[in-house]
Amino acid sequence: MERLKDADPKRLGTVTLRGRLGRGGMGTVYFGVTDDGEAVAVKVIRDDLADRADIHARFVREMDALRSVSSPHLAALLASSEDSDERPWMALEYIRGLSLKEYLDAHGPLTVEQTATLGLLIAKALADIHAAGLLHRDLKPGNILMGPEGPKVIDLGLVALAEGPTDLTSSGIPLGTVVCMSPEQVDSPKQVSAATDIYGLGATLLYSLARHFPYEAPAGPMLMLKISNPTIPPDLGGVPDPFVPILQRMVASDPIARPTITEVHNLLERLIGGQLPASIRNLAVTTYVERESDPEDPTPQQRPARKDLSHVAPPGSVIHRLAERLRKNYAATARF
């Protein structure tokens, strides 16, 4: 986390900002603390895009989407700006864990069971998003945070209506991350369906197992040509045998050939073998690695010490005390 710059806001609504977490396609993300002492991630439109009406509309769309979706596997919206504010902002649940991409790059691929569990929980988040009549459209390892309660999907910046064409057109901001884009998202980004999120989930699970994406190339245009060419099959090298037929369907070139989100859930559940509560706990314990605290954070003494959580946490540990929450998340998933 970087310290605030002179030009950065110091307070937004009931949130005091303490540092910079990062910078994305639309916004700058800050670490903040509410007046109630709750840590939050605060997203604000970037200075260089503040005057763009299309970016402003897209940001507001993301806030509206977060208000309309409720899911235990989606980072929750906790506070936001009023409609009268010149520059909108949103405060989201702050998850101290690494992104899935950061975790995999540092610790290597997940096991078949861990990947199936990860996929099942993300499928539940997507099902909740789709149930609200929306599409995520930018699912990737970088948009999944591995928190103490398991994975949480973030960033609905490219969210679109599931029914009918989206009005999000090219405006200098990529309509997704190319390595996780479906062929139809490359060719006709205004005509996508829930099958696009299935493809993004498949690409994410492929990376979790084999540390590469369905298609890779040294340059973006070449990569997009490979993705959109139905005669070039996706690379599933390094994928364990039990996962090959599932991923073949999920990253199929033809969206009609991909399974539905319910089918994905059922296929992955079979790989876990009926031990879902234990598998969820194992995934959370294994992948939760807390980020280093920042000097600007006013509550570091309240945080649990950073631990090596590659083993099963002993009774009394922070992760062990989260078992009840995990069971609740499982109960929500079981009602898929």
Catalytic residues: 138
CA 71 to chain CA centroid, Å, is 13
CA distance 128 to 302: 32
Which residue reads 């479906």 in tokens?
Answer: 182
Burial class (CB in 10 A: 0-12, 13-18, 19+), 147: buried
Residue 124 main-chain phi, psi, to 5 deg: -65, -40
Strand, helix or coil at 110?
Answer: coil
For residue 38, give every residue at least 6 positions away whose Cβ sits within 8 Å of its Cβ, in sequence order, or none: 78
Sign of CA dihedral 80, 157, 288, 69: positive
CA distance 129 to 132: 5
Q: Characterize 266-297 residue by residue with b for buried, 16 or more Cβ atoms within 10 angstroms of its Cβ, and e for exposed.
A: ebbbebbeeebbebbbbbbbbbbbbeeebebb
The total number of residues shown for the chain amounts to 336
Is the backbone of residue 324 left (phi > 0), alpha (psi -120 to 50) or beta? alpha
Contact 116, 98 (CB under 8 A): no
Q: Which of 158, 119, 134, 123 shows the shortest CA–CA distance to 67? A: 134
